[in-house]
Structure 1
Amino acid sequence: MLGDAVEESREGESQQPEAASPSTSPELINGRKLSSHKLRRYDSLDVESAKCPSHHPHGSKQAVEWRVILTLAFQSIGIVYGDIGTSPLYVYPSTFTEGIKHNDDVLGVLSLIFYTITLIPLFKYVFIVLRANDNGDGGTFALYSLLCRYARIGLIPSQQPEDQDVSNFQLELPNNRLIRASRLKSKLEKSRFAKFFLLFATMLGTSMVIGDGILTPCMSVLSAVGGIKEATSAVTEDMIVWISVAILVCLFAAQRFGTDKVGYTFAPIICVWFAFIGAIGFYNFVKYDPGVVKAINPVYIIDYFRRNKKEGWISLGGIVLAITGTEALFADVGHFTVRSIQISMCAVTYPSLILAYAGQASFLRKHNDLVSASFFKSIPGPLYWPMFVIAVLAAIIASQAMISGTFSIIQQSLSLGCFPRVKIVHTSSKYEGQVYIPEINYLLMLACVAIALGFRTTEKIGNAYGIAVVFVMTLTSGFLVLIMIMIWKWNIFFVITYILVVGSVELLYLSSVLSKFYRGGYLPLAFAAVFVTIMYVWNDVYRRKYYYELDHKMSPEKLREIATDSGLSRMPGLAVFYSELVQGIPPIFKHYVENVPAVHSVLVFVSIKSLPISKVPAEERFLFRRVEPSELNVFRCVVRYGYTDSRNEHDEPFERLLYQRLREFVMEEHWTMTHQVTLPEVKDDDGQLVDGLENAENCKNGVKKEIDDEANDKCNHKAQEASEREIAVLDRAWRAGVVHLIGENEVVAGKGASLGKRVLIDYAYNFLKRNVRQSDRIFDIPHKRMLKVGMTYEL
């Protein structure tokens, strides 16, 4: 939500520049010379927004050193691939639930597994979907943010032309602009149904990933711990369940240490796991039946479906478990980099998995009756116990991929106004994007324990698991097709090929897993329904509040009338009035003045705004506009954040940053306005009018022009005097003290509202609001200098 995220500051945050002194040369603001010819076309808000360097490495992890990339690639093995890496524990038993009826069915299933892993995790995600990252961040909301940046499909009208001047906001588009991209963009922008549908699909996809984060730990841990039954019959099912619960509790308790530490701890274990399953798979492949290499021929897939018909289609629900955790490749890219995940997948994960499944297939060709425990039965005797211990550890780690991905996407959804306020803790001072959410962590732990105790077996959980996996993949493909057409502007032939190949495969898997709805498949849909309801309630009322403020905002005339009222006292000091309204003065200020007829000598209306990008560079964060007349000393400020930016800046308190940027803005504005009015206009060689300053710049480049140096000096002197006078006013207000005024809006359903609207606003939303973090925690505001202003909105 705009301004609702409460985040812990990252260590090592870059220091902000000190406030410019009044003696700073007006021609050089922030080390950059400005052209009044260019500034003349814009107002002050545009001027401030244009203050950006030519390149920014913020958030986009493309210029990272190879040493860091390889380090992150090693870490990613422990975080991203635990889930997909432990799939060999249960894929064959989940596929052949009724046993192997024909020996060549093993080849058919192996062929399906091979092409599924190659097509979806490797081809689709590693080489295509990862390209759709949003300045280094991934997940369902990253795809939605890309679409929001390119087309006006957001439901909250807070877009401003200045947003596109942010360096990270720009989209790198191909040069060949196609007509179909413009048509599709136009249709999406004009269709309110399409906007609601895309937002709902984003919420649904996010909820499914959260559901996947709940089911993954249960499935992985129960599968690994259940392997002990092959060594001893003394362990009962109840013991296995309770051991699994204990492991799950310990796993979630370790999350607070952060992805960085957990990754370094888990990565060696997962590397050993991949080495073992690859080596054992190769051993079984050579020992039992090297002929399974024939499964590379897709004819065996056709023969498999001919023999098994409906049972073969249903068995796809087990085969799809071979790609569980694939969405973590994309959701966790914000914790690492695209290149690091590509390296670890191609060099370690993919070859190890192919060898593991081929080895099990070779074993099953000779032992059809051992399919229910094929993984542990295929392990050579001396390696059983070491492999069991590593399997349990790997299963614990497998849960980490979706837990980390859940934290990432909740952070994104929260910043875009689609999730209640929760605490965001940045856990790494070295790598951006690594976060931990305590409230969500505990809720996930409770849900996992409940499922483990309720379902007890991996077969029942597997029926639910597949739906969550395939549903998210299908939604990702839908968003990706829109990005291919509108943003990447791919050739329509490649888009259609992607839909026919990848889309048809995913829809086939989806139809199979949905057939298990009554056998546990309802569980992820139930989780999704709960989370979508929460997200919809919060987002819907938030939009209603925004439109209410937009409809009732104060006019400039009303503000001037209030400010010039002789009955209104002006107190020394600087008042910062917070609101979420970007387009004007919120109605709550009028409510404040009517009850407290006194305002401070300098007043700044601060609007907190989240852009649909992952990060906003610090020097491009503040946008200022003066509220006329200038003697009122009233300003508007829009503070822009990306959905992965930290909102608490302990190295430099927010109020000091605001004050420094306000001083810079005042200096720059006076200098710009003075030069616009006074500088002589001269003509260039083509007869075009050029500003004196721009002419002076051209002179340095050898262009033969004349400028009135005396007039230029006079302009500089006037600008210096004007800025010094106003800077002195700001300094006095700063020394007198800063007061933070926070609007606390109580929302109720309006008179005559329907029953559904009253339930939505009066009960559901207000219940969520009472149980989440409050807005005064956004910027570490000192409570001694904070004043809350309450007002009731009838929506």
Structure 2
Amino acid sequence: MGEMESDEVIVEDSVDEKQEGVSQQELVGKKLSWNRLRRYDSLDIESRRIPGHRGHGYKGDDWSVILQLAFQSIGIVYGDIGTSPLYVYASTFTKGIEHEDDVLGVLSLIFYTLTLIPLVKYVLIVLRANDNGDGGTFALYSLICRYAKVGLTPSEQAEDREVSNFKLELPNERLKRASKIKSKLEKSRFAKYFLLFATMLGTSMVIGDGVLTPCISVLSAVGGIKQATSDMTQDMIVWISVGILVCLFMVQRFGTDKVGYSFAPIICVWFALIGGIGIYNFIKFDPTVVKAINPKYIVDYFRRNKKDAWISLGGVVMAITGTEALFADVGHFTVKSIQISMCCVTYPALILAYTGQASWLREHRLMVADTFYESIPKPLYWPMFGVAVAASIIASQAMISGTFSIIQQSLSLGCFPRVKITHTSTKYEGQVYVPEANYFLMLACIGVTLGFRSTTKIGNAYGIAVVFVMTLTSSFLVLIMVMIWKTNLLLVIAYVAIIGSVELIYLSSVLYKFDQGGYLPLAFALALMTIMFVWNDVYRRKYYYELEHKISPEKVKEIANDSRFCTVPGLAMFYSELVQGIPPIFKHYVSNIPALHSVLVLVSIKSLPISKVSVEERFLFRRVEPRELNIFRCVARYGYTDVRNEEEPFERILVEKLKEFIKDDFYLANVIMHHQNGGEPVEKDGEFSDNEEAKQLAAEEQKLNEALEREIKAVDNAWEAGVVHLVGENEVIASKGAGMGKRILINYAFNFLKKNLRQSDKVFDIPRKRLLKVGMTYEL
């Protein structure tokens, strides 16, 4: 098929199984051979594309926009990592400082950890693995799914690979190694399940991180008031923290855009204050701590403290909590904006803060439990307390926003129950709000805060969630380096040896405190993975059932020839998830209601493993024979960050694209007619020869044009008569003779989730007055 202009939809028809479609623009004024018209007519195997589109992660190279987003990102992304100085030294030296050089050893650890993980790994490497501007565990998984066929639902189509955002820029070197790994992944069912489970685990851990971040940040900040007054009890601190958390989650509905602009100035003031106080303490107390840049002090620290030094790594890792938000939240901003804000503001301020606290600790070793507030100059105590509380509230925003993003991604890929996704910004793409997730996070945060009551146990849990996600990200990244980027093997080995080994050492340390609160994120992950597995497993079973029981073309012809059927004015949209045919629920519908609307469009909602699909590339059409039924199949393709209840008028756009399809369908029929009648009329002296064949062709062409006008008018009349949305509501039960495990999975677990979550019409934002649900029971 020739390339079409960027404002044209892809169209196919059912004229001949071995004819290739051509666009009007390509055919006009050209002599075409019949071989150029040959094509394979199947939604399963044709491959088409629309040129001229930028990747949809693209948000422009306008530096004013980039700098605005960089400013916003300070308020959204860095609140968590930025408030770590509140508790890092206290969490590291839980038993006090035994040797004065231990401070230098820990400062050196903090310096190299901050440099290697947030700066080198995430800002310079991981952000490059974004999926058209979106990040997170599912973004990495989607890249792998696009390169290798590792998806477990058989809904792939060849034409998907020609969508603009689907393409991967692949270098030509080191193909042999990449191809071998790709082949092994595609052939191994275990590898496919392992990748899916690893993705679910990473997603669950990030959500768990979104629960723990608000708890530890707010408790740490509010606890500082004890330094000013002895009247403040721990109970009062806990309840004040709970009140602050409730307020924080209540403002999420206003969206990342407004929240970011509100929070960014406060975090900027926070970074300026901790950096300035760091410089003050560095100059006043002990400027010699600068020698901690020598990693020898790390070696000496471990020699002196041995096992205690290894255990203390669980405190040091708190310095990089929230780093995953750099990647998870990149879809709310851009790669450049995150890189600018990190390198120019966050990283320098944190290094100065930790260096200043180390200088102060060299002379106040016995006060390590209250390092942050005690190291503040007295005149700045109350202003700093107010900013610290505000910054700790904002710290929670980073992982909350990241949680919304990854829930949206997992929902689109069939790995999460239906929840409502709301776009909160018309100015910036990717900024979303998930009401159900917001209330779940709020209740979980309140429960953790009231249950643990102190930052010590929460810190143990927090460390496991943070390092686990980082390790999973590194694992996926290595696979992408080898298989997709085809990075030099020596560089991959260097990455694993340096960054991978650092993360594994930290992971071993935080797992040591499993029984001291570390079990909490794993419990969260287990619960969430159970929900995700149940939903995904039954989702796939339903798809296979529909695939095996889809309606044959012969059955459609029987319906057309049945004298009982009558035609009802109007246009009906029949929704299903089956891509490769007509779902069995349609047969159930026509068996009970012997009437069809004058125009019927069988709409298949399909999610691609890419972030966004443009409206121009969204729809694929087919005509269902016989033509007089006016039944069409349509595949509506979405990316995992596209929101289906968006403000764009879905009905109107679909009808417009349908009419474009019909026009191209008739034009193709005209070209085929010319071929079957011996080719185009012969041109002679600038005029066509006046013969009977030419007259006959002209008459046939006139008939086709009249038929085209009638069909377009039929669609317009159906549109004016009204649109009805037919939604298949499938009840699923385990088949007779199924085992106990299968019955529990389908009859109880899945159906419990389905009954307590949103229905399809609410997710797709279908008007209730024009909605008709069609029920059918599937025995899986």
TM range (shorter): over 0.9
Specify the SS of the correspondent of 2:569. strand
Q: Check whether the contact 1:44–1:669 (CA below 8 A) recurs between aligned residues.
A: no
Aligned partner (choices 654, 659, 671) of residue 658 of structure 1: 654
- Offset of 1:290 from its aligned partner? 1.1
Q: Check whether the contact 1:335–1:433 (CA below 8 A) recurs between aligned residues.
A: yes
Unmatched tracts of structure 1, length 5 or more: 1-15, 21-25, 683-690, 697-704
- Offset of 1:80 from its aligned partner? 0.2
1:211-360 map, 5 Å: 211-360=208-357
Specify the SS of the correspondent of 1:600. strand
Counterpart amino acid of residue 360 in structure 1: Q
1:191-202 map, 5 Å: 191-202=188-199
Counterpart amino acid of residue 309 in structure 1: K
- Deviation readout 1:310-362 (Å, 9 max, x if unpaired): 11111110000000000000000010000000000000000110111111111
- Offset of 1:48 from its aligned partner? 10
Q: Check whether the contact 1:209–1:406 (CA below 8 A) recurs between aligned residues.
A: yes
Q: Does 1:725 align with 2:728?
A: no
- Offset of 1:177 from its aligned partner? 4.5
- Offset of 1:650 from its aligned partner? 3.6
Distance 1:721-1:53 versus aligned 2 partners, 3 A rule: farther
Q: What is residue 746 of structure 1 aligned with on the other side? A: 731
Q: Check whether the contact 1:28–1:34 (CA below 8 A) recurs between aligned residues.
A: no
Q: Does 1:736 align with 2:733?
A: no
Q: Check whether the contact 1:570–1:598 (CA below 8 A) recurs between aligned residues.
A: yes
Q: What is residue 436 of structure 1 aligned with on the other side? A: 433
CA RMSD, Structure 1 to Structure 2 (Å): 2.7
1:344-383 map, 5 Å: 344-383=341-380
TM-score where L is the length of structure 1: 0.91
Q: What is residue 58 of structure 2 aligned with on the other side? A: 60
Output the CA distance in 2 between the equivalents of 1:524 and 1:27: 55
Q: How many residues align?
A: 756
Counterpart amino acid of residue 170 in structure 1: K
- Deviation readout 1:603-633 (Å, 9 max, x if unpaired): 2211000111111000111100112232332
- Offset of 1:681 from its aligned partner? 12
Distance 1:80-1:444 versus aligned 2 partners, 3 A rule: same
Output the CA distance in 2 between the equivalents of 1:167 and 1:34: 28
- Offset of 1:680 from its aligned partner? 9.5
Q: Check whether the contact 1:680–1:692 (CA below 8 A) recurs between aligned residues.
A: no
Q: Check whether the contact 2:423–2:432 (CA below 8 A) recurs between aligned residues.
A: yes
Q: What is residue 618 of structure 2 aligned with on the other side? A: 621
Q: Check whether the contact 2:55–2:164 (CA below 8 A) recurs between aligned residues.
A: no
Counterpart amino acid of residue 251 in structure 1: L
Q: Check whether the contact 2:45–2:157 (CA below 8 A) recurs between aligned residues.
A: no
Q: Does 1:72 align with 2:57?
A: no
Q: Does 1:496 align with 2:501?
A: no
Q: Check whether the contact 2:75–2:267 (CA below 8 A) recurs between aligned residues.
A: yes
- Offset of 1:412 from its aligned partner? 0.6
Q: What is residue 18 of structure 2 aligned with on the other side? A: none
Q: Check whether the contact 1:48–1:665 (CA below 8 A) recurs between aligned residues.
A: no
- Offset of 1:175 from its aligned partner? 2.5
Counterpart amino acid of residue 291 in structure 1: T
Output the CA distance in 2 between the equivalents of 1:115 and 1:132: 23
Q: What is residue 3 of structure 1 aligned with on the other side? A: none
1:98-113 map, 5 Å: 98-113=95-110
- Offset of 1:27 from its aligned partner? 9.8
Output the CA distance in 1 between the equivalents of 2:295 and 2:689: 81
Q: What is residue 776 of structure 2 aligned with on the other side? A: 791
Specify the SS of the correspondent of 1:395. helix
Specify the SS of the correspondent of 2:421. strand
Q: Check whether the contact 1:44–1:624 (CA below 8 A) recurs between aligned residues.
A: no
Q: Check whether the contact 1:44–1:626 (CA below 8 A) recurs between aligned residues.
A: no
- Deviation readout 1:672-725 (Å, 9 max, x if unpaired): 23214415999xxxxxxxx979x99xxxxxxxx999698699486565334223
Distance 1:176-1:382 versus aligned 2 partners, 3 A rule: same
- Deviation readout 1:418-475 (Å, 9 max, x if unpaired): 1111111111110011111111111111111111111111111101000000000000
Q: Check whether the contact 1:607–1:638 (CA below 8 A) recurs between aligned residues.
A: yes
- Offset of 1:176 from its aligned partner? 2.0
Output the CA distance in 2 between the equivalents of 1:760 and 1:672: 49
Specify the SS of the correspondent of 2:757. coil
Specify the SS of the correspondent of 2:362. helix
Distance 1:756-1:731 versus aligned 2 partners, 3 A rule: same
- Deviation readout 1:384-407 (Å, 9 max, x if unpaired): 111111111110100000000000
Specify the SS of the correspondent of 1:640. strand
1:17-96 map, 5 Å: 38=36, 40-43=38-41, 50=48, 52-56=50-54, 58-61=56-59, 63-96=60-93
Counterpart amino acid of residue 52 in structure 1: I
1:455-534 map, 5 Å: 455-534=452-531
Q: Percent identity?
A: 72
Output the CA distance in 2 between the equivalents of 1:783 and 1:178: 53
Counterpart amino acid of residue 708 in structure 2: S
- Offset of 1:570 from its aligned partner? 2.9
Q: What is residue 666 of structure 2 aligned with on the other side? A: 670
TM-score where L is the length of structure 2: 0.93
Q: What is residue 536 of structure 2 aligned with on the other side? A: 539
Q: Does 1:640 align with 2:637?
A: yes
Q: Check whether the contact 2:22–2:37 (CA below 8 A) recurs between aligned residues.
A: no
Counterpart amino acid of residue 461 in structure 1: I
Q: Does 1:600 align with 2:613?
A: no
Specify the SS of the correspondent of 1:423. coil
208-217 vs 633-642, greater mean Cα deviation: 633-642
Output the CA distance in 2 between the equivalents of 1:414 and 1:495: 32
Q: Does 1:386 align with 2:369?
A: no
Unmatched tracts of structure 2, length 5 or more: 1-6, 12-20
Specify the SS of the correspondent of 2:588. helix
Q: Check whether the contact 1:744–1:791 (CA below 8 A) recurs between aligned residues.
A: yes
- Offset of 1:750 from its aligned partner? 0.8
